[in-house]
Structure 1
């Protein structure tokens, strides 16, 4: 696991020995978010379909509070970012490294570097789920 700066955001990254598509599948599957996200117990979109730029929904926290979210950036197969309760939140990026390997990078706002700890917990969970899907 590496700490760094990507897209002007503090980031934590993990190289995963599985195809990028499997990792992308995990991080865009809202039903899987509670399995890998320590601060998420549920998520749903307001309208049917998948993640895309402008999509809106709700994410539930461990204390049961639903917070509205909006997808602010979306590049199919590569990256997505969001605002939660109107506040800029995390950015998720999958960087292919050949056919069977990729880097998963999570960026956090400059004002929230402590959240990198939560992201560091999520990375190996995503790796495990992606390996099972590959």
Structure 2
């Protein structure tokens, strides 16, 4: 695991020896969010369908508070970022490499402490992706 700076955001990254498609599938599977996301108890979309820029929904925090979200950046199979309660939140990027991929989580510049939460999520996502 390594810390860095990508797209003007502090990041934490993990090289994963799994296909980038498997890692991506975990990232966009709302049912998996509570499994890998320490701050997430659940999530739903306002309308059924795949993720896309502009997709809206609700994420329920670990303490049970539902918050609205909107996907603000989306490249299928590669990246999604969002606003939660109208505030810029995390950016999730899957970078294909020769032996798998690198999973990178970016946080807003004002929230570097949240990298520790993201660091907990990375190996959880790796395990889920390896099982797919």
**What is the TM-score with the length of structure 2 in the denominator?**
0.99
Q: 1:51, CA displacement in angstroms?
A: 1.0
- In the aligned structure 2, how far is the partner of 1:127 from the partner of 1:62? 21
* CA offsets 1:52-98 (integer angstroms, 9 cap, x no match): 10000000011111000000000000000000000000000000002
Q: 1:50, CA displacement in angstroms?
A: 1.5
Superposed CA RMSD: 0.5
- Aligned partner of 1:56 in structure 2 is 56
Q: How does 1:44-83 map to 2 (within 5 A)?
A: 44-83=44-83
- Aligned partner of 1:18 in structure 2 is 18
- In the aligned structure 2, how far is the partner of 1:75 from the partner of 1:91? 12
Residue ranges of structure 1 left out of the alignment (5+ in a row): none
Across the two proteins, how many residue pairs are aligned to each other? 132
* Runs (4+) off by over 3 Å: none
- In the aligned structure 2, how far is the partner of 1:62 from the partner of 1:131? 25
Residue ranges of structure 2 left out of the alignment (5+ in a row): none
